[in-house]
Structure 1
Amino acid sequence: MNRRIGALGAAALALSGCVQEPQRSVVVVPSQSCNTAFRVVNASSRTVERLYFSHSSMNGWGNDQLGSSVLLPGRQVSYRAANTGNYDFRVIWNNGQAAELRRINVCVASRITVTNSGLRAN
C-alpha cells in the first residue's frame, strides 16, 4: 500500500510540472484626464509683447495668445490647453528678443515662468 501511495505521489509530483499556472492578465486602466489649466507668470524685468503656445505635434505657433494685451513684469495670465500632452511655448519681449521652451507636458506643469534668462516650467 505504501508503495502505491509512493508511486502515486511520485506520479502526481511528475505531473505537477506539466500543470500550467493560470495566466494573469494585466489590466491597464486609463488615467484620469489631466487638468490642462496653466498660467504664464512674467517674473522678468521686461514686458512680454507676444505669447505663443501650441501642441508639440503642430507646425507653427498660431496666433499670439495675448492679442492686443501685453504681459507686464509681475503679472500673470491663465489658460487652458485644448488637449493633453506636450506643448511648446514662445515669448517675445518688448525689445524684440524671444525665448522658447519645448515639449512641456501640461498634465505635469501648471506654471510657465518667464525670467530674464528665458522660460521655465514648474
Structure 2
Amino acid sequence: MRFLLAPALLATGLLLGACTPDARQPVTTGSAVCDTSMRFVNNSSNTVLSLYYSPSSTSGWGPDRLGANVMRPGQTSAVRLANPGNYDFRVVWDNGRSAEVRQVNVCRAARITVTNAGLRVS
C-alpha cells in the first residue's frame, strides 16, 4: 500500500505545481511602481536648520532629518522615503521662520524646493 501512495502523491504535487505561478516570473498587479525618491533644494536666501517629514496619516513631525547638518542656500539633499503615499514636509530657517506643505503624494512629486515664500512641490 505504501508503494502505491507515493506515486499518487507525486502526481498530485505535479498537477498542483502546474497551477501555481512560477516565482521567477514577474507578477503584474495592475498598479504602477512608486518611486519614493525626494530631492530637497534650498533656493531661499537663508540656511535651513531643520527639515521634518512624516506620512500625513501620523501625528507629529518626528526627528529633524538634517540632524547636525544644515542646508545652505543653493544646497540640495536627497532621500528615499520608506513608504508610498502622502507626506507632510516642514522646514525651519536660521531666522526662526518656518514653512510647511501637506498631503504631498510622493509617488507623483519628486522635489521640494525651499523658496523665500515657502515650499514648492514639483
Same topology, TM > 0.5: yes
User: AA paired with 1:68?
Assistant: A
Partner of 2:87: 87
* Secondary structure of the structure 2 residue equivalent to 1:104: strand
User: AA paired with 1:65?
Assistant: R
- Matched positions, count: 95
Separation of aligned partners in 1, 2:117 and 2:57? 26
- Report percent identity of matched pairs: 56
Partner of 2:68: 68
User: AA paired with 1:75?
Assistant: Q
Q: Note the 1:17-96 alignment, pairs <5 A.
A: 29-96=29-96
TM-score by length of 2: 0.75
Q: CA deviation at 1:30?
A: 3.2
| Gap regions ≥5 residues in structure 2 | 1-28
Q: CA deviation at 1:95?
A: 0.6
| Gap regions ≥5 residues in structure 1 | 1-28
* Secondary structure of the structure 2 residue equivalent to 1:107: coil
* Structure of greater Rg: 1
Q: List, as ranges, runs of 4+ consecutive aligned residues in structure 1 with deviation greater than 4 Å.
A: none
